[in-house]
Amino acid sequence: MSIPTDATVAAIVAAIRQVLHDTGRTAVTVEPQMLLSTELGLDSLDLAQTIVLLERSLGVDPFRSPPPGSARPSIRTVADLVGIYSQNAPISSSTGQP
């Protein structure tokens, strides 16, 4: 299991806050245990926009080519997103940058 980097967590929080802002909603404090739909108010389109922003900022789309035999991950919380991106993040160099 991968350990999430501060950069990964920050990118996910920033993407969620950007989508909230872009759709005219107040950007709230985003915590790992928060439910994306009920607590943050993200619908499926918002989640898709969040994933596009994350692909641009992190350079990876973990949903494009899942490993053979693996099921699509369930995404209910911010922590679920952190886990998915942490497992699929590019290998970091010794400087901590991807």
* 41 is a domain residue: yes
Q: Which pTM was predicted?
A: 0.81
Say what the pLDDT of residue 95 is: 40
Say what the pLDDT of residue 98 is: 47
Q: Per residue, what are the HEC states of the chain?
A: CCCCCHHHHHHHHHHHHHHHHHCCCCCCCCCCCCECCCCCCCCHHHHHHHHHHHHHHHCCCCCCCCCCCCCCCCCCEHHHHHHHHHHHCCCCCCCCCC
pLDDT, one tens digit per residue, over 2-54 is: 556 888 999 999 999 999 999 999 878 999 999 999 999 999 999 999 999 99
Say what the pLDDT of residue 2 is: 52
* 96 is a domain residue: no
Which CATH number belongs to the domain containing residue 33 in this structure? 1.10.1200.10
Task: Answer with the residue of higher pLDDT: 74 or 2.
Answer: 74
Q: Which domain holds residue 30?
A: 6-64+71-88
Domain count, the chain: 1
